[in-house]
Structure formats: structure tokens, C-alpha cells
Amino acid sequence: MVKVILDMDPGIDDALAIMLALNSPELEVLGITAVSGNVHVDKSSVNALRVLETMGYMDIPVYRGAATPLVKELVTAEWVHGEDGLGDAGLPMPMRKPLEGAVKFLVDMLTSERNVTLVATGPLTNIAHALLIEPQLTRRISRLILMGGAYGLTPYGYGNETPVSEFNIYVDPEAAKIVFQSGLKPLCVGLDVTTDPKATLSKNDVEKMASSSSETARTAAKIVWRFAERFGFVQLHDPMAVAASIKPDLFKTSHHHVYVVCEGELTRGQTIVEKRFWVKKEPNAEVCEQVDGPRFLEMFLERISEA
């Protein structure tokens, strides 16, 4: 069993990532650390609890983390995720309150627990803070899997916030730069694979989820319903990062040196892969360049449909 901490900004697809993780017997979720991104951390931390309690999980801790990026002003995405961040689906408010101290939780847990995988599906602010406080964490984290970046390795590897920048990296590029330069060598599940049409939910898939006998599937359908109605599909960015911790054989990856751009109206948050053969740069990331979309979708739909 893989011990995981989920660092996230719930968020429609973060909510689906929680559901997938909790319905995967391969994983033990030690806790969730929330950050500002899709919505402010005041909402994202509560949203994590809303999803957990809707699924009947009352013992997994949720910690409130960074409210703002390291340097930039916060950019959020309620226009995509709804005013409440969960598609305005009307999930009940939680009985619990988020705990304070996400960064301390990360440092303490990653220092004391062995073989912990950190799955980050939001801006990397909490992780950057943890690394600045305790640089030795690079030796303690078993693996960092992040949903972020657009690497130009597939026809789908272009930005969703700017023409070249993915949202999570765009929100806090300084934090991302710290992470990429830390020596952690993250596994990067970026837009190159998460926007592959073969790995995308259709409206028909969402309708089947809505009529499922599984309460989890029905709840997931409620959360994504407005998005699916608006765009005609649902891309499973964050669940795919969780899937990488469960079934790494779903992906083909390659090792690269990645630069993170921190400035520029169009280039802030760009993740640039060094492709010049004569430039000798040590790889600092493992980047997903292909996903078995049908197998991933089959796994996702099967697992969230389990009781």
C-alpha cells in the first residue's frame, strides 16, 4: 500500500481526485493539505472536508495552507469551478473545521513517516514553503507527483491559462521553480496528457455517473454537471495525477530539464523543456508524454462507481 498526502486546491477535479484516491485500495491517504488556487484556501480547505464527509470519511485530517502565492497576487478560477469551487453542486457543509498548519504537517509527516508519496494537484506554494523550512525533505519524500505544466511533448501540450502556461504553475511560478530546482525530480502529469481526448469524460459518461447506484458517482456527477453542460466534456487533470500513484504503467514518461518562467504577460508559468542536444543539463523532472486514455478512463469510472 502506498502512503500518500494530497496537496490540493479543491476544485472540481481535485474533488474527483479525492474520490479516486479513497476508492483505491492501493493507497492510504494520510492527510490533505489545502492551498489557494482554484479558490481561496478558506474555501478549498472546507471543500476537501465536504468531499471527505460526503464519502463518509471523518478521520482524514485536512490542513489549511498558504493563502497567497510566494510573490504574485492570487489568481483564482471560480468562473470554471463555480462560486463555491465544487460546481455549485450543493454539497453539505462539513461538521469538522480545517486544522491550521499545513506546512508544519507536511514537514512533520514527511520527516517522521517513511516512503510517503506526495501528490500535488494545485499550486506548489505549500511544498515550496516546506522545502524552504526544511531542505532535507528532498531526501525524505519518496516521490512527488504533480499535476502541472504544459511541456509541448504532445499535440495537447499547450497552456490553459496563457497560450503556453498551465494554471497551477501560473498561479505560483516562484514556488514551482523552487520545487523543480530542489532535486526532487517530480513526476509531472501535465496538460500534454490530461487533455488527451481519449482520457476525457464525455457528457454521456457524466449522465451514466448521475444514474449510478454509487453515491460517490452520483456526487461526482453533481460536481461536474455544470462544467459538462457548458463545455461538453470534463478533463480529469487531478485524478490522472492520483492514477499515476496507483498504476504508473498507464503512462509513458521521459526525463528532461525543465525551466519555469516567472515573468511575462504571456509566459508567466511556462514550463520549458530543454531540447537542445548540445546543452548538457541534468534532468530535473520526469514528464508524462503519453497516457493510455481508455484504460485510465475505465479505471476512474469503475472506482468511483464502487460503494
By annotation, the residues acting in catalysis are 237
Please state whether beta strands 233-235 and 200-202 pair in parallel, antiparallel, or not at all (unpaired): antiparallel
Of the candidates 220, 155, 196, 165, the one whose C-alpha atom is nearest the C-alpha of residue 10 is: 220
Judge contact between 223 and 87, C-beta under 8 A: yes
Of the candidates 301, 254, 300, 251, the one whose C-alpha atom is nearest the C-alpha of residue 273 is: 254
Buried b (16+ CB within 10 A) or exposed e, 174-190: bbbbbbbebebbbbbbb
Please state whether beta strands 141-147 and 187-189 pair in parallel, antiparallel, or not at all (unpaired): parallel
Rounded CA separation 239/16 (Å): 6
Rounded CA separation 35/98 (Å): 12
Rounded CA separation 7/119 (Å): 6
